[in-house]
Amino acid sequence: MSAFNAIGEEREIDREEFTPGIEPQPTWCPGCGDFGVLKALKQAMPEVGRTPDETLLVTGIGCSGKLNSYFESYGFHTIHGRSLPVARAAKLANPGLEVIAAGGDGDGYGIGGNHFMHTARENHDMTYIVFNNEIFGLTKGQTSPTSPKGHKSKTQPSGSAKDPIRPLSLSLTSGASYIARTAAVNPNQAKQILAEAMEHDGFAHVDFLTQCPTWNKDAKQYVPYIDVQESEDYDFDVHDRDEAAAMMREAEDSLNEGTVLTGRFYADDERPSYQEEKIAIGEMPEEPLAERYFDDDYEWERSADLLDRHK
Amino acid sequence: MAENELIWRIAGGSGDGIDSTSQNFAKALMRSGLNVFTHRHYPSRIRGGHTYVEIRAKDESVNSRGDGYNFLLALGDSFARNPKEGAYYGDEEVKPLTENLDDLREGGIIVYDTGLIDPDDVPDLDERAEENNWHVFGIDLRSMAREHGREVMRNTAGIGVTAALLDMDLDEMENLMESAMPEKILEPNLTILHEAYEMMQEEYEFDHELRVPQGEHEEDQVLISGSNGVAYGALDEGCRFIAGYPMTPWTDVFTIMSQHLPEFGGISEQVEDEIAAAALALGASHAGVKAMSGSSGGGFALMSEPLGLAEMSETPIVLVEAMRAGPSTGLPTKPEQGDLEHVLYSSQGDSNRLVFAPSTPSEAYDQTRKAFELAYEYQMPAIVVIDQKLSGENENVPESFFDREPNPDLGSVLTEEELEDAPHDPSGGTFNRFSHDDPEDDGVRPRSLPGQKGGRFLVTGNEHNEAGHIEEDPDNRVIQMDLRMKKLESVRSELDSDPESSHQTYFGPDEADYGIVTWGSSQGAVEEAVDRLNDDGHSVKAVGVSDLMPYPEEEMTAFLESVDEALVVEMNATAQFRGLTQKELGQFGEKLTSLLKYDGNPFEPAEIVEGFELQINGGTDAPSANTRLEPAIGD
Ligand SMILES: Cc1ncc(C[n+]2csc(CCOP(=O)(O)OP(=O)(O)O)c2C)c(N)n1
Ligand code: SF4
């Protein structure tokens, strides 16, 4: 008998199942964009058909990192910037899990920037949601890697001299195989994109625009937004790297001028995920590693088999 | 005087194949029935630069490199020559000869390669040889190698010469070469081996007394390094996931694991940095796989945050800290026991980790297994501390030692059936993984694994309530904190309750006036020093400590109460283990003198003998230029 019966359980799933019975009241400020992510995620889960017990949500630190307090699933609220390395090992150890990682722009593009680059490069099969509110929320309003140039904050009183990071372009050059941007103000698109990201077989990065009315007073509410898939003005092939790159640049340039472009920017359905690559070269077992510990018939390899070379 | 041991040193340029040659030679000696111990010295340089490997072979047991040595094979550093100008890099070329002479014992043998070393560049060689009664053989090993094969094969010529001088049989060496070398290079190597052997017998009269000792093993032996010990212990204990980032000397363990995990059905990941490495181990363990990571001092510093998360989230992991001399990048290829406090206390908050410091390759195997077992049973991080010396030294161990059952038990994990009866929050489906109830009264509350039906919970690095939700309530805080801290006490009583499984090693007589205390890899040299001291009429016993956290309070109190005074031997400048002992026991300050060494080289037994003699005579001057005596507090 399998130790992980929740995995692959097929049944009708209600989004209410993802609302925890305890502490249902998020501590986010009224009007915070994070509510939008939570809602979209809960709505996306039934579409993907995964149950709370087979889902592992790994978060970083920040207001965004509290997501799993309000989302019913297995959850690991880790440390600042480190959700990705924790998440990707959990996925390798038990590939049956639906693994979602989430955190803020400071968490994901700042302190965790190195992990972001490498997780994308390796194309781990997971979804990564970055709550991009262009500010450090939890630590009370410092400049973040996505704050626009000139943005004034308590730690950058004269205005930031730095250009903001380009999360979409960075993701593409790093190797993510699915890249999208959505916004809390656009619930239908957000739900759709999250569902697609979870179904994608590889590293799916969703830059999720969320407003922080508390610390980012001049925060754009990301309206009016334009959905690049719906708009007649934007015609590009999401499967074409060069066209996607050009679209991303345009989206990144125009964001600071007030034009909010959202939608799917890139999808590579051909590229094998990291676990597929590792299995192919014999560096990872085909059956989930975690199952083995519950299999009484499994014959455990012994170091004694290696001793010949030491004689 | 005929010596009952051979300490053979092969010196040359790093990258000249000294490692593989000496490994084979050590095995040949082991196969001939001797106990062997190897010690490796190398510079922080990839090619060229003076390096040596020492092999000590004896009929009796050996657990340290000994003092000095009695046979030098000086090969010449082929990388010392600048190919463009035909010039030398300083005196690198003759270093294999000049650098090694100080430690060569009286009556010893020197073989040097006249093909690469010009004896005229070695100051006073003849005078010193005469004074010390050294037997010197200048042999053109390079030409011999070139004539029948390639220049790098001068190692083999050196072995042939060694075997002839020591009156050794070539059979074992031949067998080893046959199994280790591809056909193409095997033939010329065998030719060179015999050529050198026969040439020596034909052309030289030997008047030296050194011969290879005779010995016999009752059981089959294997030659294992400290890194092998850690890796094989991990594999047998069911570790199937490792994540790491290279850093000397941790790289050894990482490499061995990476080579074997795929064939053992496991996963190895080389990742972007050490923070990621420890975080991956956490993720894999959280998902239900026995996982490890590790590093050396600097990389371990990066791991302190995930280490704290492991403590708070009660996720079992095993980390290896392979120490080298610090601070910072320090002496990258030299040993030190200077990271003790770093390992015990790094990361924020009150620590409840386990720390073990094995002293030999076989202990490394045992204690790594114990580290996994306890980490998973008690859901906490365990750290295995080794150092550059232990990681690289080889020792023969009976093959049957490794004949143990694997242990894939994940410790305190509930099955889905058990989860049905486990406490859940009444308002939701959440399993109270951090329940206030402590079923076994040992601080451990069994966990569930992601993917198990009915087991979902939240875990966070923040203080949390029973279901794992962030919670700052003072009463809950105290309960959770106490339960976490209790685990360390539980491990202590588990270890205490079974004296048979004590990790401390005692040697010397049961009753003695004086004690020596040491930990980790310095133990071998202390063991030998204790034998000599007792032979010289002193009354000394010693303990090598391996349990660092929880500290073996009872055992150490009993030991220290039973002696008048004790010398604490460790490789660092600030007497860290003595500090730990005083902190944990809250007494004995006036009984403990420290003998410290931090020059990048491990202790030799003679330094400990001398340090001890100075100490009992009330001296405070260091026994040698590179050691230091730190008097007892209140002395
Ligand atoms: C190593 C470390 N450094 C700093 C912090 C403090 N810290 C907590 S949240 C945060 C910034 C979070 O910003 P962001 O990721 O943008 O998330 P938001 O709160 O805006 O959702 C910082 C700096 C920390 N917890 N850990
Ligand atoms: S501080 Fe900003 S990001 Fe944090 S909860 Fe409030 S509005 Fe949201």
Contact (Cβ atoms closer than 8 angstroms) between residue B79 and residue B376:
no
For residue B10, how many other CB atoms are within 10 A of its CB? Answer: 28
A2 phi and psi angles, rounded to 5 deg: -70, 150
Q: Which of B384, B389, B379, B458 is nearest to B411 (CA)?
A: B379
B606 contact partners, CB below 8 Å, separation of at least 6: B67, B529
Contact (Cβ atoms closer than 8 angstroms) between residue B354 and residue B382:
yes
Q: Which of A11, A79, A124 to mutate to test the interface with B (most CBs of B within 10 A)?
A: A79
Confidence band (pLDDT; 50, 70, 90) for B625? low
Query: What's the N-to-C CA distance of chain B in angstroms?
Result: 42
| pLDDT of B2 higher than 50 | no
What's the one-letter identity of residue B401? F
User: What stretch of H or E contains B89?
Assistant: none
Residue B201 at interface with chain A, using a CB cutoff of 8 Å: no
Confidence band (pLDDT; 50, 70, 90) for B131? very high
Cα angle at A18 between A12 and A23, to 5 degrees? Answer: 150
Burial environment of residue B215 by CB neighbours within 10 A (0 to 12, 13 to 18, 19 or more):
middle
| pLDDT of A25 higher than 90 | no
- Using only C-alpha atoms, chain B has a radius of gyration, in whole angstroms, of 27
3-state SS record for B30-57: HHCCCEEEEEEECCCCCCCCEEEEEEEE
Q: What's residue A1's pLDDT?
A: 52
Q: For ligand 1, atom 4, which residue shows the shortest CA distance?
A: A80
Q: What's residue B486's pLDDT?
A: 97
pTM: 0.96
Residue B139 at interface with chain A, using a CB cutoff of 8 Å: no
pLDDT one-digit tens code per residue, A109-167:
999 999 999 999 999 999 999 999 999 999 999 999 999 999 999 999 999 999 999 99
The token pair that represents B577 in the structure block: 């283990």
Q: Which of B427, B115, B51, B384 is nearest to B237 (CA)?
A: B384
In order of A126, B262, B289, the CA distances from A283 in angstroms are: 19, 5, 16
Q: What's residue B45's pLDDT?
A: 67
- Check CB contact under 8 Å for B236 and A53: no
Q: Give the closest-approach CA distance of B183 to chain A in angstroms.
A: 18
Distance CA B514, CA B527 (A): 14
Distance CA A309, CA A176 (A): 42
Q: What's residue B615's pLDDT?
A: 84
Distance CA A160, CA B308 (A): 33
Of B450, B452, B460, the CB nearest to A90: B450
Distance CA A124, CA A200 (A): 11
Of B275, B286, B450, the CB nearest to A82: B275
Residue A66 at interface with chain B, using a CB cutoff of 8 Å: yes
Residues with CB under 6 A from ligand 2: A 28-29, 32, 34, 63, 133, 137-138, 212-215
Higher pLDDT among residues B632 and A234, named by residue? A234
| pLDDT of A101 higher than 80 | yes
3-state SS record for B93-136: HHHHHHCCHHHEEEEEEEEEECCCCCHHHCCCHHHHHHHHCCEE
Give DSSP secondary structure letters for A249-290.
Answer: HHHHHHHTTT-EEEEEEEE-SSSPPHHHHHHHTTSS-SS-HH
Confidence band (pLDDT; 50, 70, 90) for B47? low
Q: What's residue A218's pLDDT?
A: 67
Determine the atom of ligand 1 nearest the C-alpha atom of A212. 20
Q: What's residue B224's pLDDT?
A: 97
Residue A3 at interface with chain B, using a CB cutoff of 8 Å: yes
Q: What's residue B98's pLDDT?
A: 87
Residue B430 at interface with chain A, using a CB cutoff of 8 Å: yes
- B403 contact residues in A (CB cutoff 8 A): 304
Find the mean pLDDT for residues B552-560.
96
Confidence band (pLDDT; 50, 70, 90) for B17? confident
Q: Where are the beta strands (DSSP E) in B357-405?
A: 381-387, 394-398
Find the mean pLDDT for residues B349-374.
97
- A137 in contact with ligand 1, CB cutoff 6 A: yes
DSSP at A156: B
DSSP at B330: -
* Angle, helices A187-199/A34-48, rounded to nearest 10 degrees: 50
Q: For ligand 2, atom 5, which residue shows the shortest CA distance?
A: A28
- Check CB contact under 8 Å for A89 and B282: yes
Maximum separation of any 2 CA atoms in chain A, in Å: 73
Q: Which of B416, B431, B320 is nearest to B371 (CA)?
A: B320
Determine the atom of ligand 2 nearest the C-alpha atom of A33. 8
Q: Which of B507, B501, B568, B496 is nearest to B532 (CA)?
A: B507
ipTM score of the complex? 0.98
- Check CB contact under 8 Å for B222 and A307: yes
Q: Give the closest-approach CA distance of A264 to chain B in angstroms.
A: 28
Q: Which of B452, B459, B464, B472 to mutate to test the interface with A (most CBs of A within 10 A)?
A: B452
Contact (Cβ atoms closer than 8 angstroms) between residue B180 and residue B31:
no
Confidence band (pLDDT; 50, 70, 90) for B635? very low
The token pair that represents B424 in the structure block: 């859940």
Contact (Cβ atoms closer than 8 angstroms) between residue B542 and residue B559:
no
Distance CA B369, CA B390 (A): 17
Exposure letters A227-266 (e unless 16+ CB within 10 A, then b):
bbbeeeeeebebeeeeebbebbebbbeebbeeebbbbbbb
The token pair that represents A272 in the structure block: 């094998």
Q: What's residue B632's pLDDT?
A: 75
| pLDDT of B1 higher than 50 | no
- A136 in contact with ligand 1, CB cutoff 6 A: yes
How would you list the strands of the sheet with B565-570, edge to edge?
Answer: B505-507, B540-545, B514-519, B565-570, B592-597, B627-630
Q: Which of A25, A307, A308 to mutate to test the interface with B (most CBs of B within 10 A)?
A: A307
pLDDT one-digit tens code per residue, B573-587:
999 999 999 999 999
Q: What's residue B87's pLDDT?
A: 46
Query: Among A105, A107, A143, A210, which residue has the most ligand 1 atoms within 8 Å of its CB, making it the best to mutate?
Result: A107
pLDDT one-digit tens code per residue, A202-220:
999 999 999 999 999 766 7
The token pair that represents A56 in the structure block: 């592992």
- Separation of B78 CA from ligand 2 center, angstroms? 65
pLDDT one-digit tens code per residue, B506-523:
999 999 999 999 999 999
Find the mean pLDDT for residues A171-187.
96
Instruction: Give me the torsion for CA of B601, B605, B609, B610, rounded to 10°.
Output: -40
In order of B508, B593, B632, the CA distances from B588 in angstroms are: 21, 10, 9
Confidence band (pLDDT; 50, 70, 90) for A267? very high
A·B CB contacts under 8 A: 233
DSSP at B422: S
Q: Which residues pair with A57 in a beta bridge?
A: A75, A100
Residue B425 at interface with chain A, using a CB cutoff of 8 Å: yes
B543 phi and psi angles, rounded to 5 deg: -135, 135
Distance CA A76, CA A71 (A): 11
A 80-99 → B contacts, CB under 8 A: 82, 85-94, 96-97
Exposure letters B240-249 (e unless 16+ CB within 10 A, then b):
bbbbbbebbb
Q: What's residue A221's pLDDT?
A: 80
Q: Give the closest-approach CA distance of A295 to chain B in angstroms.
A: 10
| pLDDT of B143 higher than 50 | yes
Find the mean pLDDT for residues B551-563.
97
- Check CB contact under 8 Å for B262 and A301: no
A 246-285 → B contacts, CB under 8 A: 278, 282-285
pLDDT, chain B, mean: 93
Q: Which of B29, B36, B106 is nearest to B64 (CA)?
A: B36
For residue B591, how many other CB atoms are within 10 A of its CB? Answer: 22
Distance CA A254, CA B270 (A): 38
B355 contact partners, CB below 8 Å, separation of at least 6: B343, B344, B382, B383, B385, B547, B548, B549
